[in-house]
């Protein structure tokens, strides 16, 4: 039996429903699919990766970011979200954002994510066609949500224009195997009921997920309360926005009623603990959400509020953050947290039938890690090591949609040094602009 690529003699962590684990197994890939996962495969292939002493696991899924914002990382830190956004991010985006800016930023972000084991990311930003182009070239799986706002965005004078952009993106990328689309109204405070409902209608028409920031800060909650007499979640429920296709990002400030609504409507939550900590936004009630059966995945948010796109660090932070705020070391155990970056994250991006676990018939989005490193010895519990000890640099090889994207730490699909040079050059323009804001 013929396959295209076989990984041999690897330790395999499947993250399937039963959390099946193989001490030693072979994994065969044909085209984009996993066609065999067994102790000794009968498949043959022209390409063999010998993985003795290495770990194969599903690629990590970043459920929320703004990839191109890596260009603003470290530009302005240690200040409240509203000042950070109004004084730094917004003026730069208004003045400098272009398809070229986005391509450079996303290329840099994609390389960073691939190097730290992320094979899929969900993006909310502007010029998403440029993002799609560069992601397609690099070969990273992307879920792209063109941001909808009530006011002019960097690439659209109004929401109507944005809806047209989304329609055009759908026509161009709607059937692509690695570029997936979302409809992304930015937040209940930046999108009024009319545009929120138009976004929902478009998402229904095109059968796409909805991606929205919800209840990130206490300021947002107060603003929505003043304007609509309800919490952000209640407001979205009242106007008829919430449904199973909604991914709500942050959900930091929720009351018990909000959690009940999210559960009843089947809303998925993208949790970004490092961004919430850095901006001092508050403490998302993730333990309660999980207890209620709400699906939660991890996201990094943009690198300007993190300041990297490393999901290994995000897992470590998520586990420790909730133990600290709950004063309970038993919450957010390593297995639960790893699921939030793999199998549960796949549900948050509505692709659990294809990715998030390693099973025959599923798409081959996977990573190979070197375990022969001092900080991973001895090995008693693989979940513990991945969440509490690993940092992402252990990732050596990355396969996305059945294709080798990084092999033995070499990125195969783009010139990494050239991307970093382009980013440094663009940063000079950004720095010059900061002098004017
Ligand atoms: Zn965000």
Q: What is the pLDDT of residues 225-241, one digit of tens each?
A: 999 999 999 999 999 99
Place of tokens 């709400």: 294
**Statement: residue 436 has pLDDT above 70:** no
CA of 301 to the centre of ligand 1 (A): 5
What backbone phi and psi angles, to 5 degrees, belong to 47? -120, 120
Say which residues have a Cβ less than 8 Å from residue 350's Cβ, sequence separation at least 6: 209, 245, 268
Position 153 scores a pLDDT of 94
Position 437 scores a pLDDT of 52
Q: What is the 3-state secondary structure (H, E, C) of the chain?
A: CECCEEEEEEEEECCCCCCCEEEEEEEEEECCEEEEEECCCCCECCEEEECCCEEEEECEEEEEECHHHHHHCCCCCCCCHHHHHHHHHHHHHHHHCCHHHHHHHHHHHHHHHHHCCEEEEEEEECCHHHHHHHHHHHCCEEEEEEEECCCCECCECCHHHHHHHHHHHHHHHCCCCCEEEEEEECCCCCCCHHHHHHHHHHHHHHCCCEEEEECCCHHHHHHHHHHHCCCHHHHHHHCCCCCCCEEEEECCCCCHHHHHHHHHHCCEEEECHHHHHHCCCCCCCHHHHHHCCCCEEECCCCHHHCCCCCHHHHHHHHHHHHHHHHCCCCCCCHHHHHHHHCHHHHHHCCCCCCCCCCCCCCECCEEEEECCCHHHCCCCCHHHHHHHHCCCCCEEEEEECCEEEEECCEECCCCHHHHHHHHHHHHHHHHHHHCCC
At 385-416, the pLDDT tens digits run 999 999 999 999 999 999 999 999 999 999 99
State mean pLDDT over 372-397: 98
CA of 410 to the centre of ligand 1 (A): 30
pLDDT-derived band at 188, boundaries 50, 70, 90: very high
Q: Domain 60-348 belongs to what topology?
A: TIM Barrel (3.20.20)
Residues 174, 181: Cα–Cα separation, whole Å: 7
Residue 249 Ramachandran class (φ > 0 left, ψ -120 to 50 alpha, else beta) = beta
State mean pLDDT over 252-264: 98
pLDDT-derived band at 80, boundaries 50, 70, 90: confident
> CB 23: neighbour CB atoms within 10 A?
8
Q: Which CATH number fits domain 5-57+375-409: 1.10.630.10, 1.25.40.80, 2.70.98.10, 2.30.40.10?
A: 2.30.40.10
Q: Is the peptide bond before 307 cis (omega within 30 degrees of 0)?
A: yes
At 327-365, the pLDDT tens digits run 999 999 999 999 999 999 999 999 999 999 999 999 999
**Statement: residue 320 has pLDDT above 60:** yes
Residues 102, 112: Cα–Cα separation, whole Å: 15
- The rounded radius of gyration (Å) of the Cα atoms in the chain is 21
Residues 315, 390: Cα–Cα separation, whole Å: 10
Residues 405, 26: Cα–Cα separation, whole Å: 20
Beta bridge partners of 404: 399
**Statement: residue 417 has pLDDT above 70:** yes
**What is the percentage of the chain residues whose pLDDT exceeds 90?**
95
CA of 426 to the centre of ligand 1 (A): 22
Position 146 scores a pLDDT of 98
CA of 213 to the centre of ligand 1 (A): 6
**Statement: residue 10 has pLDDT above 80:** yes
CA of 42 to the centre of ligand 1 (A): 46
State mean pLDDT over 374-379: 98
Residues 118, 109: Cα–Cα separation, whole Å: 11
Q: What are the boundaries of each domain within the chain? A: 5-57+375-409, 60-348
Residues 128, 122: Cα–Cα separation, whole Å: 11
CA of 283 to the centre of ligand 1 (A): 16
CA of 175 to the centre of ligand 1 (A): 26
CA of 217 to the centre of ligand 1 (A): 12
At 87-127, the pLDDT tens digits run 889 889 999 999 999 999 999 999 999 999 999 999 999 99
The length of the chain in residues reads: 437
CA of 71 to the centre of ligand 1 (A): 15
Position 81 scores a pLDDT of 81
**Statement: residue 248 has pLDDT above 70:** yes
Classify residue 296 by burial, with Cβ atoms within 10 Å: 0-12, 13-18, 19+. Answer: buried
Residues 22, 191: Cα–Cα separation, whole Å: 48
CA of 411 to the centre of ligand 1 (A): 27
Write the ipTM: 1.00
Position 83 scores a pLDDT of 86
> Beta strand 5-13 with 21-30: parallel, antiparallel or unpaired?
antiparallel
CA of 48 to the centre of ligand 1 (A): 40
What backbone phi and psi angles, to 5 degrees, belong to 389? -115, -40
Burial 152-162 (b: 16+ CB within 10 A, else e): ebbbbeebeeb
Position 87 scores a pLDDT of 87
Residue 250 Ramachandran class (φ > 0 left, ψ -120 to 50 alpha, else beta) = left
């Amino acid at each position: 039996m013929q396959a295209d690529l076989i990984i041999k003699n690897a330790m395999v962590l499947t993250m399937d429903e039963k959390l099946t684990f193989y001490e030693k197994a072979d994994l065969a890939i044909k085209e984009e699919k996993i066609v065999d996962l067994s102790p000794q495969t009968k498949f043959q292939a022209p390409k063999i990766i010998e993985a003795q002493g290495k770990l194969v696991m599903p690629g990590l899924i970043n459920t929320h970011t703004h990839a191109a914002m890596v260009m603003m990382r470290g530009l302005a830190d240690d200040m409240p979200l509203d000042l950070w956004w109004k004084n730094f991010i917004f003026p730069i985006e208004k003045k400098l954002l272009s398809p070229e800016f986005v391509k450079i930023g996303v290329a840099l972000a994609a390389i960073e994510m691939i190097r730290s084991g992320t094979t899929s990311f969900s993006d909310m930003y502007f010029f998403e066609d440029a993002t799609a182009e560069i992601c397609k070239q690099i070969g990273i799986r992307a879920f792209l949500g063109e941001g909808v706002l009530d006011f002019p965005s960097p690439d659209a004078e109004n929401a109507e224009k944005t809806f047209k952009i989304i329609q055009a993106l759908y026509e161009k990328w709607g059937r692509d195997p690695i570029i997936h689309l979302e409809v992304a109204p930015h937040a209940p405070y930046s999108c009024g009921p009319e545009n929120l409902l138009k976004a929902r209608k478009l998402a229904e028409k095109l059968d796409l997920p909805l991606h929205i920031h919800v209840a990130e800060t206490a300021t947002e909650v107060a603003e929505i309360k003043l304007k609509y007499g309800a919490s952000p979640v209640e407001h979205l429920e009242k106007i008829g926005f919430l449904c199973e296709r909604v991914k709500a990002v942050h959900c930091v400030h929720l009351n018990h009623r909000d959690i009940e609504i999210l559960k009843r409507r089947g809303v998925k939550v993208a949790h970004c603990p490092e961004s919430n900590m850095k901006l001092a936004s508050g403490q998302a009630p993730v333990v309660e959400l999980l207890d209620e059966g709400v699906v939660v995945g991890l996201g990094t948010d943009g690198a300007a509020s993190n300041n990297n796109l490393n999901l290994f660090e995000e897992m470590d932070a998520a586990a420790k953050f909730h133990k600290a705020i709950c004063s309970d070391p038993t919450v957010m155990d390593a297995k639960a947290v790893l699921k939030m970056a793999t199998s549960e994250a796949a549900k948050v991006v509505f692709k659990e039938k294809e990715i998030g676990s390693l099973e025959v018939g599923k798409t081959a989005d996977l990573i190979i890690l070197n375990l022969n490193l001092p900080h991973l010895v001895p090995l008693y519990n693989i979940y513990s090591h991945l969440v509490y000890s690993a940092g992402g640099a252990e990732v050596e090889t990355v396969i996305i949609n059945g294709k080798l994207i990084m092999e033995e730490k070499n990125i195969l699909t783009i010139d990494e040094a050239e991307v970093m040079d382009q980013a440094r050059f663009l940063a000079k323009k950004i720095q010059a602009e900061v002098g004017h804001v």
